[in-house]
Amino acid sequence: MSKTRIVLVRHGESNVTVNRILGGPRTCNGLSELGKLQAARLRDRLAHTQELSIDVLMSSGFPRARETAEIIAPALSSLPINIDTNFGEHDPGPECDGLTFDEFVRRHGPPDWSADPHAEFFPGGETIAQFHSRVSGALNDLLRKYSGKSVLVTCHGGVVDAVLRLTMQTPATGAFEMYTKNCSITELVEVRAGHFALVRYNDHAHLHGLPLATNNS
């Protein structure tokens, strides 16, 4: 029986990151020019190497993730893009969505991401525990619907972090940190029910030579 393969691609650099804004589902406005170039680099790599044979292409509902999927789709036989909003980034809630980072810290102080996962960092937004529960549901749905398939999901750094913590059965916060690059590839295989092998994490060789980030000073 074929094993289920999950390929997580973090979206390209986003406009909200360049402008230092908390860009949740209400205010995300897509990729920066560098982000589009990063996604194009990944598309060209996948077209050249043919290293991934993908059956299903999925994306979170955020514009930055959808645009990334649209750019790389031609290298994946132009598969249709299936949207699953549960693969969206940690939702800061309507009060904080769209705030600059500086304004958020001025109002609420810097969040401690290694603290209690049930703590409310974003007033009216998701706790880390709620975010992980949502991503866990999305992951379980994927495994049920696409058993034995290879699925690529364009998503977010926080989602990659959550999926790895869930599959490795580690604490929701603390223990380690991950710095997932834009348009990097993270790949897992379900070797048997509920047991996963991490094939690669943060593979971003295709970004060699590009700026690390947009200079918005």
How far, rounded to the nearest angstrom, does the alpha carbon of residue 30 sit from its chain's CA centroid?
14
Mean pLDDT, consecutive 10-residue stretches, the chain (217 aa), reads: 94 98 98 98 98 98 98 98 98 97 95 89 95 98 98 98 96 92 98 94 98 83
Q: Report how far residue 110's alpha carbon sits from residue 105's, in angstroms, rounded to the nearest whole number.
A: 5
CB 33 within 8 A of CB 55: no
Give the model's pLDDT for residue 216.
66
Phi/psi of residue 76, nearest 5 degrees: -120, 45
CB 62 within 8 A of CB 25: yes
Q: Report how far residue 51's alpha carbon sits from residue 15's, in angstroms, rounded to the nearest whole number.
A: 30
Give the model's pLDDT for residue 115.
86
Tokens representing residue 125 in the block: 């937004």
Give the model's pLDDT for residue 87.
98
CB 10 within 8 A of CB 155: yes
Tokens representing residue 65 in the block: 């993730």
Q: Report how far residue 192's alpha carbon sits from residue 120's, in angstroms, rounded to the nearest whole number.
A: 36
CATH of the domain spanning 4-207: 3.40.50.1240
